[in-house]
Structure 1
Amino acid sequence: MIENPNLDRIDRLLVRALQQDARIPMRELAEMVGVAASTCSERIRRLRSRGLITGFHADVDLASLGRPVQALVFAQIRPLTRALISKFHDEALAMPEVMAVFVLAGGDDFLLHVSVGDVTHLHSFLVDKLSSRKEVVQFRSSVIFSHGQKRALEDLTPYAR
């Protein structure tokens, strides 16, 4: 959890730049925000220790890895207990086809983002790995034709409470 969400101008510039390109050289980043490289490095360290920056990653082209088919799978489980929610979450996330797991409120309990090689593999995943689980009482899937994703939040001001 973030201890103090307030960011000054330099912190906002740093976070915005790192969201766009986390591999930017420290010297270039420092020049962009108008501080010394050592100051820049220390500010990034503080932003990480405060929990505002949670990590750095590489985006991967799933089709290049032989996983061009993506789908969203909505699932309901029963009995709906905290222990079962936690167990299903962890076990679903451990499945190689699953890219992300969301615990939901409303009609569905989970949303799984899956990536597979073809629709036959998607069908096998749904039938063999999902419907065979005794806690899964219902699921539905939607194939993703395309999707967009923001690379950076434009406004880094926290919402008023």
Structure 2
Amino acid sequence: MREMRAMDSVDAKLLAEVQRRADLTAQELGEVLNLSPSQAARRRARLEAEGVITGYRARLDPARLGLAVQAFVQVQMAAHSADNAAGFVRLVGTLPEVVGCWTLTGEADYLLRVWCADLPALNQLIHHRLLPHPAVARVQSQIVMDQPKADSGLPV
């Protein structure tokens, strides 16, 4: 990884644009930034090389994939040990329904963001995959009713 140089307002605008639409061509990015396509491409390549841009992803429509239930699941551990944490993280890595996992301060130790086809699938995940794990003491879920603000990029 190259040493990171200070970002300017053009870099910030570039980052905002690629977060909004990662498939921009160098030509399109140059037009947005008022740069030539080659200058825009070099800036994007530099930000990738510096590790500021870590990758690109497509956003998929959950409903078109048959995923109707989004939920946040709080997990409280039975005991706090490195082995328990490692075992639980390994389990989470095997669950495709879990699309995000965070460790937390407070009562819950982990927060999982999950997508399931329906409520029975969420029930199956909680009661047959999470709760039986020996490291798990308690699980609490909140089902998402609506998402007024879609996932967005980082503030730049």
Q: TM-score, normalised by structure 2?
A: 0.89
Deviation at 1:57, TM superposition (A): 0.7
SS at structure 2 position matched to 1:15: helix
CA offsets 1:112-150 (integer angstroms, 9 cap, x no match): 111111111111111100111111001100111112235
Letter of the structure 2 residue corresponding to residue 149 of structure 1: A
SS at structure 1 position matched to 2:125: helix
Letter of the structure 2 residue corresponding to residue 79 of structure 1: A
- Higher mean Cα deviation, 75-84 or 25-34? 75-84
C-alpha change, 1:37 and 1:19, in structure 2 (3 Å) is same
Q: Is the 8 A contact 2:85 2:135 kept in 1?
A: no
Letter of the structure 2 residue corresponding to residue 33 of structure 1: L
C-alpha change, 1:5 and 1:105, in structure 2 (3 Å) is farther
Partner of 1:48: 48
**RMSD (Å) for aligned C-alpha atoms:** 2.0
Gaps of 5+ in 2: none
Gaps of 5+ in 1: 157-161
CA offsets 1:94-119 (integer angstroms, 9 cap, x no match): 20211111111111110111111111
1:73 to 2:73 alignment: yes
Letter of the structure 1 residue corresponding to residue 93 of structure 2: L
Deviation at 1:82, TM superposition (A): 3.2
Deviation at 1:4, TM superposition (A): 4.0
C-alpha change, 1:23 and 1:110, in structure 2 (3 Å) is same
Deviation at 1:2, TM superposition (A): 9.6
Q: State the percentage of identical aligned residues.
A: 28
Partner of 1:159: none
Q: Distance in 2 between matches of 1:36 and 1:68?
A: 43
C-alpha change, 1:74 and 1:2, in structure 2 (3 Å) is farther
Partner of 1:18: 18
Aligned residues: 155
Which stretches of structure 1, 4 residues or more, deviate above 3 A after TM superposition? 1-6
1:152 to 2:153 alignment: yes
